[in-house]
Amino acid sequence: MAPTLATGRPSSGPVYRLSFGLILDLSADMFLLFTLLWIAGPEGWTGIKTAAVIAALQLPALLGGWLGGLAIDRFGPRPLLVAQAAVRIVCLAVLTATVWTGRFPLVFVLVLGGINGALSPVGYAAARTMVPRLVDVGGLVRANALLAVADQAALILGAAAVGPLLETAGAGKSLLVPIAMMIVAAVLFVTLPRTVHGAVHVEPDAGASMPEIVEAPVEERRRMRSVIALIALSGAYYFAYGPVEPVLPAFTRDQLHAGSGAYSLLWVAFGIGALLGLTQSARFTGRRPGVVNATGAALWAIVTLPLVFCASVPPAVFVMVLSGVIWGPYLAIESTAVQQWTRPSIHGRVFGAQHATLALATPLGAAVGSLLLLRFSGTTVIGISIAACFVAGAVALCFPSIRRRPELFSATPPPPP
């Protein structure tokens, strides 16, 4: 059955359940990453081994984004949300049992972490694919903002919870927390409706029988070029931003003359700013998403540049809040554009590719930042990263595919003349 545009206004309850489930899903990811990095020291892992663990958690997202996107389009987003949660619960349970034995072989971490990393794009892509099936066109921006909240809330919750728990309960008991998070997330995903009616209505088994368009019309090709340009801009933006993450600790120590508490405070400030920025996402509805996001990347660089001149924590926290405000709406705007510019039958593949691109871009940028830190100070590297973000946004504005505002996708063919 072909998708049709819905005219009713569905309940927002499923969107809140989806968003809360995604917060727990992503928080479990962050908690696991922080826990493994904490364990690395006592286990005597070398820098190469630790880097291998991080790679095992991140790089499989490329394969997971591609295969997961195909599976979402074939079987629907809800079954994939539940399935990825169930598999990850099993992986976390095995990993926790291994830690409790007192032995922590690296091969277990690499294999189980790799499976977990490969599944991370599935939850992201399935959630974004499901949103236009839960709300009408007017509610897309708000719903995507709720999902974007999950990205920032997961960073704050994961970072805030892991330290105290590791100190009081130890690694083995602490890993019960992400398992509990994933169980609750799985329950929330199970309660999502089977038949959905939103901006796009697709029957539960439509992905299996929906005919593909062999030769897309001109307007659809233009839309796809704009979608590809948006994702390419995000890849460049996140790559340019990547060095900030590994370099910020050195910047905090050397430039701000502060410790780990200040470092955590900077990230919390950034997350709070991003949450504040998300509340303004609806203001950009109806504007050209490519122009908004490219301008946002350049504006983020301008707003964040004063950070390199900060010599104490309070002004740096203030800058990070403002930086987060500009950063916050970015993915919500892009997600709304992708949902409106692509056929529902390929939403899973597009969002899988988008997440895989971002999952690769940020670690690569972080790796470049780590290499630059061998030669330059943390302040200089952050300045280079900020300048690169400005260039990414400014150059993107030169491309017609970014400046264009294509017609929205229509699931029903136009009437004959």
- Model confidence at 195: pLDDT above 60: no
DSSP letter (8 states) at residue 210 = P
Q: Are residues 149 and 246 in the same domain?
A: no
Q: Are residues 139 and 225 in the same domain?
A: no
Q: Are residues 185 and 236 in the same domain?
A: no
Single out the residue in 160, 175, 207 at which a domain terminates: 207
Q: Are residues 296 and 313 in the same domain?
A: yes
Residue in the block written with tokens 């992400």: 178
**What percentage of the chain carries pLDDT values higher than 70?**
76
In-domain check, residue 417: no
DSSP alpha helices (H): ranges in 242-281? 244-254, 260-278
Q: What CATH number is given to the structural domain containing 393?
A: 1.20.1250.20
Q: Are residues 186 and 77 in the same domain?
A: yes
pTM equals: 0.75
Q: Are residues 201 and 220 in the same domain?
A: no
pLDDT higher for 272 or 295? 295
Q: How many residues does the chain have?
A: 417
Residues 6+ apart with CB under 8 A from 195: 203, 204
**What percentage of the chain carries pLDDT values higher than 90?**
23
Q: Are residues 164 and 240 in the same domain?
A: no
Lowest mean pLDDT among 19-23, 114-118, 338-342: 114-118
Q: Are 359 and 65 in contact (CB under 8 A)?
A: yes
Q: Are 303 and 357 in contact (CB under 8 A)?
A: no
Render 77-135 in DSSP notation, one character per residue.
HHHHHHHHHHHHHHHHHHHHHHHHTT---HHHHHHHHHHHHHHHHHHHHHHHHHGGGTS
Q: 387 lies in which domain range? A: 216-408
In-domain check, residue 413: no
Q: Are residues 270 and 347 in the same domain?
A: yes
Region class of 278: left (phi > 0), else alpha (psi between -120 and 50), else beta: alpha
Half-sphere exposure of 215 (CA within 13 A, CB side): 0
How many other C-beta atoms lie within 10 A of the C-beta of residue 171?
18
Strands 200-201 and 4-5: antiparallel
Q: Are residues 262 and 152 in the same domain?
A: no
Residue type, 4: T
Q: Are 194 and 78 in contact (CB under 8 A)?
A: yes
Residue type, 209: S
Residue in the block written with tokens 């908004």: 292
- Nearest CA to 106 among 54, 42, 45? 45
Single out the residue in 207, 236, 266 at which a domain terminates: 207
- Nearest CA to 220 among 386, 345, 117? 345
Distance of CA 372 to the CA centre of its chain: 25
- Residue 30 to residues 98, 151, 152, 178, 365: CA-CA distances in angstroms? 19, 10, 11, 9, 19
Residue in the block written with tokens 């509805």: 285
Residues 6+ apart with CB under 8 A from 342: 223, 224, 227, 350, 409
Query: 346-388 pLDDT, tens per residue?
Result: 888 899 888 888 877 887 887 788 778 778 888 899 999 999 9
In-domain check, residue 49: yes
- Mean pLDDT, rounded, for 21-26: 86
Q: Are residues 383 and 271 in the same domain?
A: yes
5 strand-pairing partners = 200
In-domain check, residue 77: yes
In-domain check, residue 363: yes
Q: Are residues 233 and 313 in the same domain?
A: yes
- Model confidence at 207: pLDDT above 70: no
How many other C-beta atoms lie within 10 A of the C-beta of residue 191?
13
In-domain check, residue 416: no
In-domain check, residue 98: yes
Report the C-alpha gap between 193 and 207 in whole angstroms.
16
Give the pair of three-digit tokens for residue 115: 């499976």
Q: Are residues 174 and 238 in the same domain?
A: no
In-domain check, residue 329: yes
Single out the residue in 178, 207, 236 at which a domain terminates: 207
pLDDT band (50, 70, 90) for residue 79:
very high
Domain count, the chain: 2
pLDDT band (50, 70, 90) for residue 417:
very low
